[in-house]
A and B are shown apart, each in its own frame.
Chain A
Amino acid sequence: MAEQLRLAKAVLSVQFARRVEELSGQSPYRCYQCGKCGAGCPFADSMDLLPNQVLRLVQLGDEKVLEAGAPWSCASCLACEVRCPRGVDIAKVMEAVRLLALRKGRSPVALGKVPGERLPQIAVVGISRKMTP
């Protein structure tokens, strides 16, 4: 029993979970892993982790979540937010994970490489705000 407790302690970084909670204003521990967010997510097919799995890693305090691709496939469309039976605003958790990665200098896009063609300004301002530090 004691052994199990020690193992759990080694994995959990309560501090990291708290940081996400502080940035998002959402308690990750409200999530009971029903998967409804991912079931209705229009971008789940391009995510390496489903939204509830992102939340699971946050619950476990696993900083590996900062290397996941899923938060960058999230368009903050809030479909999950209006459907979550536990009232978790998952888009805010995704935003917190993105910001923590960005603040460590990890950015998934280079704005200079985004083709300018006739992209609407909304799209360019949108990704610069969501995907660059």
Chain B
Amino acid sequence: MNSILYYPGCGVADQARSMETAARGALGALGWEMEEMERWNCCGTVYSLATDDLMRHVGPARILARVQDAGHEHLLTLCSMCYSTLKRSERFLTEERDRLDRVNAFLDDEPDYTGGVRVVHLLELVRDEIGYEAVEEAVQRPLSGLKVSPYYGCTLTRPRAVGVDDPERPRVLEDLLLALGAEPVSSPQGVECCGAYLTASAPEVARRRAGAIARAAARGGADLMVTSCPLCQYNLDTRQGEAPGASAHAVPSLYFTQLLALALGADPAVDEQVIDPRPVLAARGLAVEVKA
């Protein structure tokens, strides 16, 4: 069994637990184990884009210092926002010695971070370490006939230097879906933002975005959408469901980890959702149960 150190983050540890349960089961079927790091804290969720806001890098630096102190080189995330924030902070801090020195001095009670931790998204682990061939071989329940629209959102692929794939024409989700036997339906809205945290300050904006993304997926004939971020999932499920007249053409969404688990014969951990994915799954012969 291979093992990788894992950082859950606030979303996955709470309302997006299903993303993690499914990932654990799926990785188990592929011979990998996620080892949760000790004493983790919030990454800050959003990366500071300012040059003088060093304080916003303290959260990521503390996490990276602990990973290094525990003797690890890699840190796995499931959430795209954690991935991007941690990876961008790592680059920002190690780019200029002075930044790192100042943050280390501030983090007096922690061992110094000296650089070099590689933040890895689960989609990268599957693509680059495990490989799609191994995934294909491990499939027990092919997702045949299931039409899935990949929704990448922002932080998984942008900015280019940090993203896991090309920001304008990514294919990592399409390739994964093909390995699982599903039919990917690429959407013109697949890389356009869902509204992200504006869902808190301007919910109507997130409703509009979720509606536009779902309509584009439906026009392509998708049964459901697949996400890699708990905030995308919230907007595509809850905010889409709240939009006026949504129910008639609502398109459910699931985490990529849930489809992976479903195909590999592990628990897809499908929760109660605003837009229930079970009918479309059942229609393709993939009935799942919701845990009580």
Contact = CB atoms under 8 A, between A and B. Distances in A.
Q: Which has the most chain B C-beta neighbours within 10 Å: A25, A42, A120?
A: A120
Interface stretch (B8-16, B98-106, B171-179, B263-271): B8-16
A125 B159 CA distance: 21
Given A126-B45, A126-B196, A121 B10 contact: yes
A45 B204 CA distance: 12
A73 interface: yes
B6 to A, nearest CB: 18
A130 B197 contact: yes
Interface string B72-88: 00000001010000000
B42 A125 contact: yes
Contact of B197 (A91, A99, A122): A122
Contacts of B53: 99
Contacts of B198: 43, 73, 75, 127
A75 B196 contact: yes
B51 interface: yes
A13 B201 CA distance: 32
Contact of A23 (B52, B197, B201, B212): B52
A122 B45 contact: yes
Contacts of A46: 202, 205
Interface string B42-69: 1011111111110010000000000000
Interface stretch (A4-12, A55-63, A76-84): A76-84
B51 A23 contact: yes
A120 B168 contact: no
Interface stretch (B27-35, B187-195, B248-256, B284-292): B187-195
A122 B42 CA distance: 9
A118 B193 CA distance: 21
B209 interface: yes
A42 B209 contact: yes
Contacts of A45: 208
A91 B51 contact: no
A85 interface: no
A131 interface: yes
A94 B49 CA distance: 9
Given A25-B51, A122-B231, A126-B196, A77 B158 contact: yes
A119 B42 CA distance: 16
Q: Which of B14, B154, B209 has the most CB of A within 10 A?
A: B154
B11 A24 contact: no
A81 B201 contact: no
A2 interface: no
Contacts of A129: 44-46, 48, 56
Given A78-B158, A82-B167, A120-B11, A99 B50 contact: yes
Given A78-B159, A79-B154, 18 more contacts: A22-B51, A23-B50, A43-B198, A43-B205, A72-B201, A75-B154, A75-B198, A76-B46, A76-B154, A77-B193, A79-B158, A82-B167, A92-B49, A118-B238, A119-B199, A121-B11, A123-B197, A125-B44
30 contacts: A23-B50, A40-B192, A42-B195, A43-B205, A72-B201, A75-B196, A75-B198, A76-B46, A82-B160, A89-B159, A95-B48, A95-B49, A95-B50, A114-B201, A118-B15, A119-B200, A120-B14, A120-B15, A120-B234, A122-B11, A122-B79, A122-B197, A122-B231, A123-B200, A123-B231, A124-B200, A126-B45, A127-B200, A129-B46, A129-B48
Interface of B: 10-11, 14-16, 42, 44-53, 56, 79, 81, 153-154, 158-160, 167-168, 191-193, 195-202, 205, 208-209, 212, 230-231, 234, 238
